[in-house]
Amino acid sequence: MKVFRGLPNAESRAPCALTIGNFDGVHRGHQALLAHVREAATRLGVEAAVMTFEPHPREFFARLAGDLSRAPTRIANLRDKLQSLSNAGIDRVIVEHFSAHFASMSPQDFVEKVLVEGLHVKWLMVGEDFCYGSKRAGNVASLIEAGKKYGFHVEAMPAVTNDGVRISSSAVRAALAASDFPLAARLLGHPYAISGHVIHGKKLGRTIGFPTMNLRIAHKRPALSGIFVVQVHGLADHPLPGVASLGVRPTVEDGGRVLLETYLFNYAEQCYGKVVRVEFLKKLRDEEKYVDLPTLTAAIDRDVQQARQFFKERETLAVSATDRI
């Protein structure tokens, strides 16, 4: 899969079947839309393409207003989004920098400069509530008319539902905020996880008996925060159990940096630079600020014991289920 930061250069502007959106989480609704794009691209003999945005448009406008709390939380980092798009059979992804200039484009300029000149769109699918251009002045009806004028076909994808409820990024965020990981998995089509390269941290954990594996979270508002039971993929031929903290580490750091720190049980191998995937299983508690390191250490020890009990009970249930077969 080819990834472009902004519109491709002239040599790379091959005709395409396209869809446009934020695709945060690439949930089952997104997956259904992407399958249509892949099918159309194959039928027309063109590339399957996605245009997505960084930052999220609502995050851009929230920053502009000076109130980041109005921005949506992030389900997935860019790495995980791109991997999900690749898994869906997409050939080309355009990560468009959402800026004041882009936000001010008229619907006409968006069609001419982006869709026609920039991407050579031959077929386009969008959600039924899709809007485009400055002040969201363009809609699906105007896009269909533009397609007739410029020679590309437009289709609108109806919402995909789960038990009668629309599958959306907002629904996934709500499930994660409630720590309802089974619901999140049903909406996403897979268990919720965050992947990334293991980085060096301050190595405080090893001094208090709980060495951690650290992943940097690039955005400030992840869809989760707190202490969780997790399992980690990518370090062995089976998932490794552990407990993780996702947040700003209020006891030891005041800079606001978001970090995913995972303590793996009975694991002491070197893993810096490796790509791992941390799968979330259960929330234990919210982040807290402790008065000193001994109090923090005692809290981590309680978290570890709870997590070990979780895995013990899960193993017992699995054995019991096997015995009944």
The dihedrals phi and psi of 138, each to the nearest 5 degrees, come to -90, 150
Question: At how many degrees (to 10) do helices 169-177 and 181-188 cross?
Answer: 160
- Where does a domain end: 128, 151, 166? 166
Burial of 286 per CB tally in 10 Å (0-12, 13-18, 19+): exposed
Residue-wise pLDDT tens for the chain (325 aa)? 999 999 988 878 899 999 999 999 999 999 999 999 999 999 999 999 999 999 898 898 998 888 888 889 999 999 999 999 999 999 999 999 999 999 999 999 999 999 999 999 999 999 988 999 998 999 999 999 999 999 999 999 988 888 888 899 999 999 999 999 999 999 999 999 999 999 987 666 666 668 899 999 988 899 999 999 999 999 999 999 999 999 976 555 656 678 999 999 988 888 889 999 999 999 999 988 887 888 888 989 999 999 999 999 988 877 766 656 6
Domain that holds residue 227: 191-324
Q: Tokens 């978290």 label which residue?
A: 303
Residue 182 lies in a domain: no
Same domain assignment for residues 155 and 119? yes
Domain of residue 48, CATH code: 3.40.50.620
Residue 263 lies in a domain: yes
Q: Which residues touch 162 (CB under 8 Å, ≥6 apart)? A: 28, 171, 186, 187
Same domain assignment for residues 151 and 210? no
Reported pTM: 0.90
- Where does a domain end: 166, 181, 203? 166
Same domain assignment for residues 196 and 111? no
43, two tokens:
């039928």
| CA geometry: angle 160, 78, 60, nearest 5 deg | 85
Same domain assignment for residues 161 and 196? no
Same domain assignment for residues 10 and 140? yes
Q: What is the pLDDT of residue 243?
A: 97
Same domain assignment for residues 118 and 203? no
Domain of residue 204, CATH code: 2.40.30.30
Same domain assignment for residues 65 and 214? no
Same domain assignment for residues 141 and 195? no
Residue 195 lies in a domain: yes
Burial of 200 per CB tally in 10 Å (0-12, 13-18, 19+): exposed
How many domains does the chain fold into? 2
The dihedrals phi and psi of 131, each to the nearest 5 degrees, come to -130, 155
The dihedrals phi and psi of 209, each to the nearest 5 degrees, come to 90, 5
Q: What is the pLDDT of residue 18?
A: 98
Residue 176 lies in a domain: no
Q: What is the pLDDT of residue 41?
A: 98
How far, in Å, CA of 322 to CA of 325, rounded?
5
The dihedrals phi and psi of 237, each to the nearest 5 degrees, come to -80, 10
Same domain assignment for residues 242 and 287? yes
Q: Which residues touch 181 (CB under 8 Å, ≥6 apart)? A: 175, 191, 192, 280, 281, 282
Count CB atoms within 10 A of the CB of residue 192. Answer: 23
Residue 267 lies in a domain: yes
Find the farthest-apart pair of alpha carbons in the chain and give their distance in angstroms, rounded: 69
216, two tokens:
């940097």
- Where does a domain end: 108, 132, 166? 166
